[in-house]
Each structure stands twice: as C-alpha cells, then as structure tokens.
Structure 1
C-alpha cells in the first residue's frame, strides 16, 4: 500500500512539474510573440511616418521652388511696369515740351494773344533847333527801333508789338520822315515797343553798359523804360 501510494505521488509530482514547465514555456512564448509583434507594429508605424514626412518635405521643397519662381516673375513684371512708367513719363515730358514749344512759336508768330509780365520802351524825338541842327540827328529812325526789337528777341521776349501792332520775325519796319511804317501801317512818334517776357531779364538786357539804351542816348533819342507785371498784346488777327 505504501509503495503504491509512493508511486502515485511520484506520477502526480511529475505531472505537476510538466504542467508548470509547459505553463512557463507558454508564458514565455506568448510574451515573446507580443513583444516581437509589438516591435513590428511600431516599426511599421515608424516607417509610414517617415515616408509621410519625406512626402511632406518634398511637397515643401516643391512649393518653395514655385514660390521663388513666382517671386522672380513678379520682380520681372514690376521692372516692366517701372520701365513703362519711365517711358510714359518721358513721353509725357516730351509732349509737354512740344506743347510749350508750339505755344512759344505761336506767340512769336503773333497768332495768339500774349499775356504776362514784360517791359514797355518808349522812343521819342529829341528837342532840336531846325535852323542850326540837322533834324535827322534828333529823330527816331527804323534802325533805332530795330536795335531795341532785336535785343528784346535775343533776351527771350515771347511777344512784341509796336504802337499796339503785333510784329513777327517777318515784319518789316521802314522810316518815312517823322513816321515809321510797320507792315504797311504808318505810326507817328512817340514809338512804344511792348515786349512780353521776364521783365527783369528784358530790362537788364537793354540797360547793359554800352548796350542798346546807351547807344540810343548817344544818338539823341529820348528813351524811357517801364516794367509791367500785367501786359497784354493782341493777336495779329484780333487787332483793332
């Protein structure tokens, strides 16, 4: 009886030992599977994240390159606009210069009225004794008037008139005794020459030492000059 019981206890102990061994092995296998399986899942996730990050990085680089292309294109367009503005500004300036030049030519031709500041020069015959003196040495001749007119033109006069009659570069002045003829019209002394332009410049040009006025005085001509801030010359076709 005792021997049989010992054998039974031995068999039961072996079963218990085997059970414990198998249980430990199963636990080890299960843990290993879970561990390696988890590592594979983590590796797979990390691989997907890396690929997505690379894709985002590539998209960012492409976008940056496109932005640079657009920036270069905008800079080129802006330069084209600035070039057009410069060209347009130059054309505007050229147009303004042409308009101003055309206006100056119309003023010189006398086809439009001239209004502005200027000077008034009056030439009179000097007093003389017709018995003892030659009257031609004391009266105003066309040469005296032409000296004044030419000096005013050189000084920049934009419009000229003699006794109210507008004159141009084609006008002719002729002396006939005590009167002068301007473009076919006769005028007696005194002779008034009006000139539109910078009154200080015109006046200074006439009064230069040894200039026009000094020469007229030596020729016994009575000369007076006046600066006017508001002077008006009628156009050739609007003369009364």
Structure 2
C-alpha cells in the first residue's frame, strides 16, 4: 500500500509538472505570436506612411503639371495670335503692294470709256466738248469709293501718287500721254461699282451733261501688270 501511495503521489507530481510545462509553452507561444503581429503592424504602418507621402507627392506633381499645361496653353494661344497677326500683316502688305502697283492683279470688274463729243456746234467752244482730267478724276474717285482695288487708264496702272493732267485733246498719266478715247478699267465688285457709277444724278449723268460720251460695262476678267519703277510718280 505504501508503494501504491508513492505511485499516486508521483503521478500527481508528474501531472502538475506537465501542466506547468504546457502552460509555460502556451505563454511562450502566445508571446511569440504577439511579437510577430507587432512587427507586421509596424511594417504595415510604415507602408501606409510611404503611401501617404507618395500620394502627397503625386498631388504636388499633378498641380505642377496643371500649371505647366496652363503655361503651354497660353504660349500656344500667343503663338496662334502671333501667327494670325503675321498672316494678317502679310495679307495687308500684299494688298498695299497691289494698291501701289508693285504686283500684278487680275479679276472681274468694270470698264468705263470716255470719249470726246463727236458733235460741236459752230458757235460753241470745242474745249467744252472734250474729256478733261477733272472728268477722269471723277470716274476714278467714284470707282475707288465703291471698292475698286486697282485702276488703270488706257492700260496705264495708276497709284495713290499718280498725276493726271490734260493738254488739249491728250491726257498725260504719270508722264505718258494718251489720246481719247480714255478707257478706265477697275478691278472689284462689278455690280457695286457699276451701280454707284450709273446711279441717277451720279457721275455718269454729270459726264453726259458735260457733253462727254460715256460707255460702261462689266468685265469678267481684267488683268493689270505691275508698274515699273520708272512708271511710278516721283
């Protein structure tokens, strides 16, 4: 019985010892698990911090990109305006060169022919029945006012500084003499120019009243060569 009691006591000691060992292992294992979880949490926190920092940098870069895009857009708009201005200047220069006769021009227009009267009464002054520079000036001014872009007299291109004067039956244009009839050609809208010229009480009627023979007609194409340097008025 003593041996059996010792056996029971030994069993209880072993049981308690096993329990203590198991409990210690469990505590150690849980502590180890807690340590790994904390490490993972730290890594996750660092990753989140890096992500936040990267998002902030992306936001800053996005704002900078937006500013750059706005600057590029402004530059493109300025370049477009400069290009349009340059194009407009080129067109204006070409138009001015056309007006002064430096370049040839072709287009539709009108042709006004002025002739001396074929009948002069015996008791009248013949000078009152011929074309004078004042008559030609009236026609040219009316054509220019109604939109003519180029004008010529008997093929002689005229410019803003051209001079015209009458010497008897002959009219001199920039040093070149032309006898009647005087053919004044103008490039532009033929309907507008012809309507302005033939309006009731207008230039055409005034010329007829001055005993001038007037003929006006539309032309589908009129060609004018550029003026040579020697042909321009000095």
Q: How high is the TM-score relative to the length of structure 2?
A: 0.88
Corresponding position of 1:229? 220
Corresponding position of 2:106? 115
Corresponding position of 2:142? 151
1:191 matched to 2:182: yes
Distance 1:24 1:204 in 2: 131
- Displacement of 1:143 in angstroms is 1.0
Corresponding position of 1:39? 30
Change (3 A) 1:72 1:90: same
Structure 2: give runs of 5+ residues left out of the alignment. none
Corresponding position of 2:41? 50
Over residues 32-53 of structure 1, what are the superposed CA-to-partner deviations in whole Å (9 max), with x where a residue is unaligned? 1222122112211111111111
Kindly report which structure 2 residues correspond to 1:109-188, keeping only aligned pairs within 5 A, or say none. Answer: 109-188=100-179
- Displacement of 1:235 in angstroms is 1.6
- Displacement of 1:134 in angstroms is 4.1
- Displacement of 1:146 in angstroms is 0.4
- Displacement of 1:118 in angstroms is 2.4
Over residues 156-209 of structure 1, what are the superposed CA-to-partner deviations in whole Å (9 max), with x where a residue is unaligned? 322221000111111111122222111122111111111223334333433344
Contact 1:165 1:239 (8 Å CA) reproduced = no
Q: Which has the larger radius of gyration?
A: 1
Question: 1:95 aligned to 79, 86, 98, which one?
Answer: 86
Contact 2:120 2:129 (8 Å CA) reproduced = no
Change (3 A) 1:229 1:40: farther
Corresponding position of 1:5? none
Aligned residues: 231
Corresponding position of 1:15? 6
Structure 1: give runs of 5+ residues left out of the alignment. 1-8
- Displacement of 1:133 in angstroms is 4.3
- Displacement of 1:57 in angstroms is 0.7
223-232 vs 44-53, which deviates more?
A: 223-232
Change (3 A) 1:205 1:15: farther
SS in 2 for 1:160: strand
